[in-house]
Chain A
Amino acid sequence: MAAFTYAPAIVLLPFVSFLVALFAGDRMPKGGALAGITATGGSLLLSIWVALTVAGGETYNQFVYTWVAGVESLQLRFGLLLDPLSALMLLIVCLISFLVHIFSLGYMNDEGETGLARYYAGLGLFTASMLGFVVANNLLMAFMFFELVGLCSYLLIGFWFREEGPPSAAKKAFLVTRFGDYFFLIGVVGIFATFGTGLFAPITQGGEVVAESFPVLAEHAVMDGETEAIAMLDTVGMSAQAWFTVLGLLVLGGVIGKSAQFPLHTWLPDAMEGPTPVSALIHAATMVAAGVYLVARMYGFYAISPTALAVIALVGGFTALFAATMGLVKQEIKQVLAYSTISQYGYMMLALGSGGYIAAVFHLTTHAVFKALLFLGAGSVIIAMHHNENMWDMGGLKERMPVTYWTFLSGSLALAGIVPFAGFWSKDEVLYEALIHGFGTEGGLGVAYLLAYAMGLLAVFFTGFYTFRMVYLTFHGNARSDTARDPHGVRWNVKGPLAVLGVLAATIGFINMKPVAELTGAHIDFLHVWLNGPEEGGWPALLSTDLHHYETLLHDVAHVTAGYPLGETTTLLASAGVSLGLALAGVLAARSLYAGPDPVEHTDKLGGLKTVLMHNYYQDEYQVWLATGVTYPVARAMDKFDQGVVDGVVNGVSSVSLFGGSRVRRIQSGLVSNYAMLLTLGLVLLLAFFGVVGGWF
């Protein structure tokens, strides 16, 4: 348990590095980078300690600080929830953040950027808030850190604020995610009003529950009909399940904004205006993961609502396909990666929606590693290319940057989902879960799953294609510009993080090789065991955040059942075979089109479709039109109403008072005798009044 005593330091260390970099960064060597590296390194070590303790069967869920003490029951408190899910996420965030700090030495310091203190302060604050979000044990605390994460994203995207693009992209990211967070905020208030608590998991002492959590309360209300305690249901006049669906979908608004799901995905490609290490840390590996993590964190709440599950699965599947098609035609290396990020988070949402809790967490883990790797690799290429990001100016970098090439290839194979790299195992599991639950579940939910599965499967082909189009254009063929012929060298601080992540991207899939485990019968699905918990009681069953509990809920309430059209093993292998085949087909298609010494833009043959894809399906245009064409006139009309009618009434009332006052004040004549006269008259009138009323006469 000692590890849990020090757990708050995981969050506080990067916060201290933020303060140090902010106030003393200018006077420090490397502009505060060393403070950040030390802090995230320390957090990483503490996270490993926490993860080992959790692996030993301990969990922790306590409040550590009360910042608003209400009169009755409602108290607003900070608390830590450390269970397998948050321990895993802590490891991911700390590791990526640590590596990105080191990489920044090469990308920012060696390139002679100014404002480094501001940069490292931003990274420190971001890491602290993300870690705070991960360990939060209640929804309000999660919301606060969720917003802080958004703020850091704004600060870091707009790091080069003197140029034209970054400030605009920063504002866009802030506003679009804020639009989603608006619904999230209403959802938070709704959940507090309904359940009186925002706890993710019940707090227990000696096996007794001392504070109940909202997913468990919701579960009791839906499964056992214990709705008496929830007065809110009478207020809204809905059934428990319908109201919980509404709350779940409101919270999902924040998730869709932050995890860049359709239709709020438009901010993420623009966010590539920020420094590349920031893109790696925030817009690929961690911040964007916050949305998906939130759904996983309160999965017990979603598991009891089939509608919310269907929405999550469909949004995820659609986003996976939609973003992948846009990635096909992009010319800038980071833009391709941005759309692939959106697409991959779509897969995670698809998995969560279709009951694949492990698959989602697994894909979250592997994606964090390989997408951070790809972004850092792209950063290395961008250093070499003197900050030219256009892939048509690259080519032939393979010989000149071998470390970058091989690590980037490892990440690309993982992203495309080629066996045995990380992405294959996790993406395959996502699709497999969607498939079997689509076949097994009856009614509309099953149809939704199959539809989402079909879209996800199609996206596999596009993923393979755009990934290897990027690889071939960047590293193969002949150099197409002078900078590509003589690229800028990179140092150890770039190659080191790339090497670590490159090895991880190739190997991290081995933590949950489900097909191999099924075939050989060996118990090597470690992630499954990690999240599952014991079959009966014990940890973390008391927390109600174990997989076993979620599967029971999914089965009993939403009736999500697995169906195997071809028998269990054959279905598993067929699913893996189909997705691998499609991925390979995508890779080979990219190879046949772009592998030559002087590739040409084959996408031109798409004609009008290419224009649509280059313009991102006119998503930005229609959102701008919504703002200027609809919202603005409505706001103008409201303003007229406000100025004319509301203010008119108020002004009218005040002018009556003013006019009356200007008349009445004339009795203030300054003559003492007049005052005395008025006093006397008043007295006489009063006496007469009381006399008449009191019956004196």
Chain B
Amino acid sequence: MIPAQTYLLLSAAVFCIGLFGILTRRNALIFLMSVELMLNAANINFVAFSLQHGNLTGQVFALFGMALAAAEVAIGIGIILVLYRNFTDVDVTKATTMRW
């Protein structure tokens, strides 16, 4: 059996890719994708521990995570549309009107 550490390493790697995307990219769509990656890193952890402990709770949570991700994408795309309408661009660094 593949040890749990392998899955954890995989999940950490996916999470860091997502984080890197958020911190460096300007395109809102890439933001959305990066968030998806981070969410799915968490899902990998759930499933991995579920397998490790022989307990289905983690898998159920992973399903919840996917449903959540779907909802999040729906809202996220809505936000991006509004962003585009207001600033004629999907560059997140241009929408800086809500500041001190």
Q: Specify whether A and B are partners.
A: yes
A686 CB to nearest chain B CB (Å): 15
Encoded as 1 (CB less than 8 Å from any B CB) or 0, chain A from 76 to 117 comes to: 000000000000000000000000000000000000000000
A84–chain B nearest beta-carbon distance, Å: 79
Complex partner residue of B97 from A670, A673, A680, CB under 8 angstroms: A670
Closest residue on chain B to residue A666 by CB atoms: B100
**Bound form: Cα–Cα A680–B26 in Å:** 17
- Determine chain A's interface SS by DSSP, over half rule: helix
A668 within 8 A of B: yes
B92 at interface, CB cutoff 8 A: yes
- What are the residues of chain B within 8 A of A666 when measuring CB–CB? 100
Partner of A673, one of B92, B98, B99, B100: B92
Chain B interface size, under 10 / 10 to 19 / 20 to 34 / 35 or more: 10 to 19
Q: A669 — which chain B residues lie within 8 A by C-beta?
A: 96, 99-100
Task: Tell yes or no: A650 within 8 A of B by CB.
Answer: no
Least CB separation from A668: chain B residue:
B100
Contact B96 A671 (CB under 8 A): yes
CA–CA, A670 to B31, complex, Å? Answer: 16
- Report chain A residues within 8 Å CB of B96: 669-671
- Whether A672 sits at the interface, judged by CB under 8 Å, is yes
Residues in A neighbouring B98, C-beta threshold 8 A: 670
Knowing A666-B100, A668-B100 are in contact, say whether A673-B93 is a contact too (CB < 8 A): yes
- Using a CB-CB cutoff of 8 Å, which residues 647-677 of chain A contact chain B? 665-666, 668-673, 676-677
| Choice from A665, A668, A670, A673 contacting B23 with Cβ under 8 Å | A673
Whether the pair B23, A671 counts as a contact (CB closer than 8 A) is no
B19 close to A665 (CB less than 8 A): no
CB nearest to B34 among chain A residues? A676
Closest approach, in angstroms, between the C-beta of A674 and any C-beta of chain B? 9
Neighbour of A671 across the interface among B22, B24, B93, CB < 8 A: B93
B98 to chain A, nearest CB (A): 5
B91 to chain A: closest CB distance in Å? Answer: 10
CA distance A666 to B99 in the complex (A): 8
Q: Which chain A residue shows the least CB distance to B25?
A: A673
The answer to whether B95 has its CB under 8 Å from any CB of chain A is yes
> What residues of chain B lie closer than 8 Å to A671, measured between beta carbons?
92-93, 96
Give A661 Cβ to nearest chain B Cβ, in Å.
10
B99 touches which one: A670, A677, A680 (CB < 8 A)? Answer: A670
A60: min CB distance to chain B, Å: 73
Inter-chain contacts of B95 with A (CB < 8 A): 670, 672
A680: which B residues are within 8 A, CB to CB? 19, 23
Q: Which residues of B14-37 have CB atoms within 8 Å of chain A's CB atoms?
A: 19, 22-24, 26, 31
Note all chain A residues with C-beta closer than 8 A to B99.
668-670
Q: Which residue of A lies closest to B31 (CB)?
A: A672
Residues of B close to A676: CB separation below 8 A: 22-23
The residue in A665, A676, A680 that gathers the most chain B C-beta atoms within 10 A of its C-beta is A676
Query: What's the Cα separation between A673 and B92 when bound, in Å?
Result: 8
Of all A-B residue pairs in the complex, the 4 with the closest CB atoms, nearest first, are A670-B99, A670-B96, A665-B100, A668-B100
**Further pairs besides A670-B96, A672-B92, A676-B23: 18, Cβ < 8 Å:** A665-B100, A668-B99, A669-B96, A669-B99, A669-B100, A670-B95, A670-B97, A670-B99, A671-B92, A671-B93, A671-B96, A672-B31, A672-B93, A672-B95, A673-B22, A673-B92, A676-B22, A680-B23
Can you list 12 pairs linking A and B with CB atoms under 8 Å apart? A666-B100, A669-B99, A670-B97, A670-B98, A671-B92, A672-B31, A672-B95, A673-B22, A673-B26, A676-B23, A677-B23, A680-B19
